Structure 1
Amino acid sequence: MSIAAELSPTPFGRLLTAMVTPFDAQGAVDLALAGRLARHLVEEGSDGLVVCGTTGESPTLSWQEQVQLLEAVREAVGPDVHVLAGTGSNSTNEAVEATREAAAAGADGALVVVPYYNKPPQDGLEAHFRAIAKAAPELPLMLYNIPGRTGCSMTPATVSRLMDCTNVVSFKAASGTTDEVSQLRLACGQRLAIYSGDDGLTLPMLSVGAVGVVSVASHVVGRPMRSMIEAHFKGENAVALAHHERLLPLFKALFATTNPIPVKAALELSGWPVGVPRLPLIPLEPAMRVALSDTLAALRQT
C-alpha cells in the first residue's frame, strides 16, 4: 500500500485555533478574558488551542506571561481540550527551558518554530529539535515551518531524520505550498500528522494528506471551518469546496497585513475586546478595518 493511501493520526484533533493574546487597556495580559475566549472557541468547534504562538504575539510576551497564559487557558477549558504552548526560540537553550516549563504547566503539546534570524543549516536544525525533544520526552511536539517569517526552512529530509524522536508527532506546514505536505508524507510516512498553517490552503492540504489546520480564521468562523473539514473527510467534496469558497474572502482579509493585526480587529468587531497588538505591531488601519467589517457582514448574510 502506498504512503499516500494511509491516513495519519490526529494527535490534537482536526481544528486548532492559534489563540490571540488579549490585552487590557493598559497593555497587560488579560488572563480572565483569555479564559473566556478559550471556552468560546471550544464551543465554536475547536478541538484544541495553541497559546503563545505567532498569533498570540509571543515575541512581545515575557516567559512569565507565557506560563501564566498557558495555565489560565488550561484551567478554563479543562482536561478534554488539547492545549499546546508555543515554546520556540532562536536560542536552543531558551526553547529547551520553555518546553520543559510548558510540560510542567500542563500543556498537551508544544508548537516549536524553526529558529528565526540566525538561519542555521539543516544539521543545526536537527540538533536544535533533538535537544528540545530530549528535554521533554513525554510532551508531544508539533514542529513549525514558516520560512516567510523565520528566513529559514526545514527540509522534509531533516524532519525524516527526527522521526526517531518518539515525541515528534506533528508538523505545522506554513511554507505556502501544498507540495510541502506531499514531500513530508513521502519522507516521513503516515505517523507524522501534518496540519495546515494557512487557512486558505486548508482544503487543498487536506486533499494531499494533511489532517487538519492550526487556524486564525476560526476565531470568528469556527463552525464553518469545522463543517468544511468534516465535509472533506466524509467525501462531500462539493460541500467542502462551497465552504472554502465562501470563507476565502475572510481568509484574505485576515492576512491583508501582518497577523494578528486583522484578527484582533475582527474579534473586536465581533464583540470581543481583546485589545490592540503590542508594539511594534499596531492597530489595523481604518480602510482595512472597513473592508474587514464589510467582509464579516457579508459572511453573516450567507
Structure 2
Amino acid sequence: MNIVTGSSTALITPFKNGKLDEQSYAALIKRQINNGMDAVCPVGTTGESATLSSDEDRRCMEIAVEVCKGTTTKVLAGAGSNSTSEAILAAKNAQECGVDAIFSVAPYYVKPSQEGLYQHYKAIAESVPDLPFMLYNVPGRTVVDIEAETVIRLFDDIPNIYGIKEATGSLERAIALLSARPDLKVFSGDDAIDFPMLANGGAGITSVTSNLMPDLKSEIVRLTLAGNFTAAKAINDKLYPLNSVMFCEANPIPIKAAMYIAGLIDTLEYRLPLLAPSVENMKKIEQVMKNYEIKGL
C-alpha cells in the first residue's frame, strides 16, 4: 500500500461568481508542487467542503489528480460525512477520481459513541480496501473525539487505515498514540505545533498556513524528519504569528482572505454561512503578512 506522509496542504477552494474557479484552483496546486509540498488535500474543512455540491467535490479531486500527475506530489482527499452511507459514497467517489489516499472527518453533529465511531470507520475503510485511509480527528468542529483507544483498535483491525490527522491541539494525544503504536502515521492538524508533533514522532502535517507559505511549511517537515531540529524550530517559531492570525476567525475565513491580499486568488468569495473577515481582523491579517515574503504563482 502506497501511503501518503510528509507535508500536505489543506487546500482552499477558490470561487468566482459563485462557482468553482477551476483555473485558479489548478494554479494554486501547481504552486504547492513547485514549493515542495508532498501532498495536497482537496475538499477538506479548509476547502469549504460542507458547502460544495457532489459535482464540485468530484471536480476538485479530478483537478488535483490531473495537476499532480507525473509529479512527486500526492493527492490526499477529504471523504467524510456524518452519515456512514454518504461517507462510503464519498470514499468510492474519491477512489474513482484516482486520489492516492483519503482522510475522513469524524461524523459531526450526531455525537456517536466510541463503538459507533469504530463501526463508522470500519465500514468506510472496508468499502475501499485498496485505498490508504486516514482518520481525521477535529473535536472543535465535530463535537466528538476519536479517543486513542479507538484509533489504536482501528489501526490494528483495518489494514488500509494507516494514520490519523490529529487536530485536538494536544501533544499528549500524539504521544499516547505513538507510544502505543510507533508505526501509526500521525499528522499534525494544528499549524502552531507542527514542529513539536513531528519531533515527537509525527509523520507529517496537514496545514492551513501552507496555502500561503508552502515553501517554509514543507521545509519544516523536511528538516525535522532529517533530525535538524534547531533549524526546523526556528522556522516554526518564525511562522507562529502567521499561524496564530490564521485562526482569528473560523477557518477558512482568514486564510482565504490572506490568499486574496497576497494576490494568489482574484476574488474573495465564500459560501454562506461563511463571510469575509471583519474590517478589524482583515487589518490584523494584513499587518502580520507584512513580516513574510510570500512567493507568487
CA RMSD of aligned residues (A): 1.6
Matched, 1:135 2:127: yes
Offset from partner CA, 1:192-242 (integer Å, 9 cap, x none): 110000010101111211111000111111111122222223332222221
Counterpart residue number, 1:290: 283
- Structure 2 residue corresponding to 1:124, chosen from 93, 116, 123: 116
> Conserved in 1, the CA contact under 8 Å of 2:163 and 2:187?
yes
Counterpart residue number, 2:98: 106
Counterpart residue number, 1:85: 77
Partner letter of residue 213 of structure 2?
V
Counterpart residue number, 1:154: 146
Structure 1: where are the runs of 5+ without partners? 1-8
Q: Judge which range, 136-145 or 282-291, deviates more.
A: 282-291
- Structure 1 residue corresponding to 2:36, chosen from 21, 41, 45: 45
Structure 2: where are the runs of 5+ without partners? none
Q: Judge which range, 162-171 or 222-231, deviates more.
A: 222-231
Q: Judge which range, 153-162 or 248-257, deviates more.
A: 153-162
- Structure 2 residue corresponding to 1:184, chosen from 177, 183, 192: 177
> Conserved in 2, the CA contact under 8 Å of 1:35 and 1:77?
no
CA–CA distance in 1 between the matches of 2:220 and 2:179?
A: 26
CA–CA distance in 2 between the matches of 1:193 and 1:28?
A: 35
Q: TM-score, normalised by structure 1?
A: 0.93
Offset from partner CA, 1:38-95 (integer Å, 9 cap, x none): 1111111211011100000011001111001110121122143211221100000000
Counterpart residue number, 2:59: 68
Counterpart residue number, 2:161: 168
Counterpart residue number, 1:6: none
Offset from partner CA, 1:21-47 (integer Å, 9 cap, x none): 1100x2111112111111111111211
Matched, 1:29 2:26: no
> Conserved in 1, the CA contact under 8 Å of 2:76 and 2:100?
yes
CA–CA distance in 2 between the matches of 1:10 and 1:228?
A: 23
Q: Judge which range, 78-87 or 133-142, deviates more.
A: 78-87
Counterpart residue number, 1:4: none
Residue 10 of structure 1: how far off its partner (Å): 9.3
Partner letter of residue 269 of structure 1?
I
Residue 300 of structure 1: how far off its partner (Å): 2.7
Counterpart residue number, 1:257: 249
CA–CA distance in 2 between the matches of 1:238 and 1:78?
A: 34
CA–CA distance in 2 between the matches of 1:108 and 1:10?
A: 8
CA–CA distance in 2 between the matches of 1:270 and 1:146?
A: 28
CA–CA distance in 2 between the matches of 1:251 and 1:179?
A: 21
Number of paired residues? 291
* Structure 2 counterpart SS, 1:149: helix
* Structure 1 counterpart SS, 2:286: helix
Q: TM-score, normalised by structure 2?
A: 0.94
Percent identity at matched positions? 36
> Conserved in 2, the CA contact under 8 Å of 1:11 and 1:193?
no
